[in-house]
């Protein structure tokens, strides 16, 4: 075989060798990028990817009317399950034809699809009265808020107060669309009647 033919064969295989090396390098880099270092004390793969200080979010209906607002001093988002934690969250439902409801707590959690807001620790809910009566106030340690369904629920003990009247129960479910509130489990009440 002449030196010229050997030179042509080397030039023919050289680009294939370079491409093959690039493929191996890319595969190796891809495998490295999938291996996230786990911080001490953190669950594997559950690490924040961004945070927002002084969060203010508003949801609108199809007509452009604000349906509810969510604020928090800080929100931290987690990429692995697309959830967010909240510090000092305040949920506000306000709009034409519905009583204003304000719910606040020490901490909170927003589900991946944003359909569930969970309020935790020192939960306090106030619903304004449409008749001029004192507002209705609820305290508990856990509250599940489903804004699109317009519902609130908890399986923890609750205290419900309006003026001097007080109701307590082991769980609660409220439906804003049906305008119903149900207390369950050892319900007790004190009603004050004014003459």
**Cβ distance 161 to 172 under 8 Å?**
no
Q: What's the CA gap between 66 and 139, in Å, rounded?
A: 26
The per-residue pLDDT for 73 is 95
Q: Is the pTM higher than 0.85?
A: no
Cα gap 108→68, rounded to integer Å: 16
* Superfamily of structural domain 48-190: Lipopolysaccharide (LPS) transport protein A like domain (2.60.450.10)
Question: Hey, how many other C-beta atoms are within 10 angstroms of the C-beta on 154?
Answer: 23
Residue 169 near residue 139 (C-beta atoms within 8 A): no
Residue 53 exposure: Cα atoms within 13 Å on the Cβ side? 0
pLDDT tens across the length of the chain (195 residues): 445 544 444 444 444 444 444 555 455 545 544 544 545 554 457 788 888 899 898 888 788 888 888 899 999 999 888 899 999 999 888 877 777 889 999 999 989 888 898 999 999 999 888 777 888 899 999 999 888 888 889 999 999 998 888 999 999 998 877 888 888 888 888 876 655
DSSP class of residue 193 equals: -
Cα 172 to Cα 24: distance, rounded to the nearest angstrom: 59
Domain chopping of the chain, boundaries:
1-35, 48-190
**CA dist., res. 143 & res. 167, Å (int):** 17
């Amino acid at each position: 075989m002449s030196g010229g033919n050997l030179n042509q064969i080397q030039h023919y295989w050289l680009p294939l060798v370079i491409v093959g090396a690039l493929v191996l390098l890319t595969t190796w880099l891809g495998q490295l990028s999938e291996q996230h270092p786990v911080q001490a004390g953190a669950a594997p793969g559950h690490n924040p990817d961004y945070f927002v200080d002084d969060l203010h979010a508003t949801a609108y209906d199809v007509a452009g009317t604000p349906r509810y607002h969510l604020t928090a001093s800080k929100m931290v988002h987690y990429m692995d399950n697309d959830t967010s934690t909240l510090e000092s969250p305040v949920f506000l439902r306000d709009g034409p034809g519905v009583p204003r409801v304000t719910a606040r707590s020490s901490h909170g959690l927003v589900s991946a699809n944003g359909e569930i807001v969970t309020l935790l620790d020192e939960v306090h809910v106030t619903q304004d009265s449409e008749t001029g009566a004192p507002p209705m106030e609820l305290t508990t340690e856990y509250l599940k808020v489903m804004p699109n369904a317009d519902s609130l629920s908890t399986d923890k003990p609750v205290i419900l107060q309006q003026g001097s009247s007080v109701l307590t129960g082991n769980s609660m479910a409220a439906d804003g669309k049906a305008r119903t509130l149900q207390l369950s489990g050892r319900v007790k009440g004190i009603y004050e009647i004014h003459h």
